[in-house]
Structure 1
Amino acid sequence: MLLRKVEQFLARHDMPATKFGRLAAHDPRFVLDLRMGRIPRDATEQRTLRWMDEYECDPRSALLPRDLETKGFCYAV
């Protein structure tokens, strides 16, 4: 279930739901809509899962301060 995996990801990375939605799905309400029962298309679910995997595999993501708002930009670390 996508919502369960997203909630675990948010807790593990101490990331707000709206930031996750902007970065992973380009929709700040994505997680909020999932919590309200939204069922994403298969392609959206696969893209979101792939984004979470890539985020966790990227060593730079661990170095970014958690309160830094990236606004979609990549910062050299």
Structure 2
Amino acid sequence: MLLRAVEKFLREYSIPATRFGRESVRDPRLVFDLRRGREPGDRMRRRVEHFMNTYRRSIGQ
């Protein structure tokens, strides 16, 4: 589930939800909407996953 992965990522890297949404898909409300049941499409899911993977690589983990 995407929301679970995002929540774990936010805790692990201490990133605010609005910053995560803005940097990953240009939507500062993304995480809040996911928490309220929003189901992202495949394209958005891929963009979020790509952002998390790229961020992890950029800090050496």
TM beyond 0.5: yes
**Structure 2: any 5+ residue segments left out of the alignment?**
none
4+ aligned runs moved over 4 Å, structure 1: none
> Which position in structure 1 is the counterpart of 2:58?
58
State the number of aligned residues. 60
- Structure 1 residues 28-72: Cα deviation after superposition (integer angstroms, max 9, x where no partner): 000000000000001100111011000000138xxxxxxxxxxxx
Distance 2:21 2:12 in 1: 16
RMSD: 1.1
Distance 1:19 1:59 in 2: 17
Identity of aligned residues (%): 47
Q: Which structure shows the bigger proportion of residues in helix conformation?
A: 2
Larger Rg: 1
Q: Map residues 1-77 of structure 1 onto 2, 5 A cutoff.
A: 1-59=1-59
